[in-house]
Amino acid sequence: MDLILPFKVGDLAESKSFVKGYTGAWFRSKIIDMRVTESGHLEYYLEYIDYTEEENEWIRVFQKNPLSPACGEGKSSESTEIMLRPAFPHWYRGGQVPARFPKNELVASVCDTWKVGDKVDWRCSDCYWTAEIIRLNSRDVVQVMLLDPPMGEGGQHPAKKKDLRPALDWSIIKGKREILASCSSGSS
């Protein structure tokens, strides 16, 4: 079975990190080039949008998570993760949804009412961290819990609601992203 990823040179994407202090964080990037290495690994050459001081680098699309216990046990298929996902789609809050959309454009529409249990991407340190809302602190601030190691850095953090977006789960098999977050009709 041939694997065809929906990325091409010039596309915007998000790349994941296993670097300590940024484990599981997603970075906005632009695909500059692509190649298949002599060992058969697919790689993309990325330019980081929010980290302009960082040099462009080749990212292997599938990597073993070095922090995963499965990796240490030699279970490579269980510790292999996809390191690139499509750029986040245009998204609108509640009544902001336009009447017409460009053809074939993926769009997400959410309400502003975040609730405990919602899965979100939290923008902090110029990257996105997948988290779950665990408490509503105030009108503008929630408490989030980052993914635990080995998938993330773990820990609880206060997060401004304006820095949240719905967490989307992209399926390489289905070729689409699905909203993990939901919102209620109540007020926050």
Q: Is residue 61 part of a domain?
A: yes
CATH of residue 58's domain is 2.30.30
User: Going by DSSP bridges, is the β-strand pair 127-136/141-146 parallel, antiparallel, or unpaired?
Assistant: antiparallel
Which pTM was predicted? 0.79
- Of 55, 86, 117, the residue that ends a domain is 86
Quote the pLDDT of residue 6.
Answer: 72
For residues 172 and 109, membership in a common domain is answered with yes
Rounded CA gap, 159 and 131, in Å? 10
Q: What's the CA angle centered on 144, arms 142 and 150, to 5 degrees?
A: 170
According to DSSP, the residues that pair with 170 across neighbouring strands are 177
Answer yes or no: do 168 and 134 share one domain: yes
In a domain, 57, yes or no: yes
State the SS3 of 72-137: HCCCHHHHEEECEEECCCEEEEHHHCCCCCCCCCCEEEECCCCCCCCEEEEEECCEEEEEEEEEEC
Q: Report the distance separating Cα 116 and Cα 142, nearest Å.
A: 9
Domain boundary among 86, 116, 131: 86
pLDDT at 169: 75
**Higher per-residue confidence, 96 vs 86:** 86
- Whether pLDDT at 103 is above 60: no
Q: Are residues 35 and 116 in the same domain?
A: no
| Poorest-pLDDT segment among 115-124, 152-161, 174-183 | 174-183
What CATH number did the domain enclosing 169 receive? Answer: 2.30.30.140
In a domain, 135, yes or no: yes
**What is the average pLDDT across 178-182?**
47
Number of domains within the chain: 2
Give the tens place of pLDDT for each residue, 17-61. 999 999 999 999 999 999 999 998 999 999 999 999 999 999 998
Task: Report residue 188's pLDDT band, with 50, 70 and 90 as the boundaries.
Answer: very low
Residue 17: give the domain boundaries.
11-68+79-86
Give the pLDDT confidence score for residue 98 in this predicted structure: 61
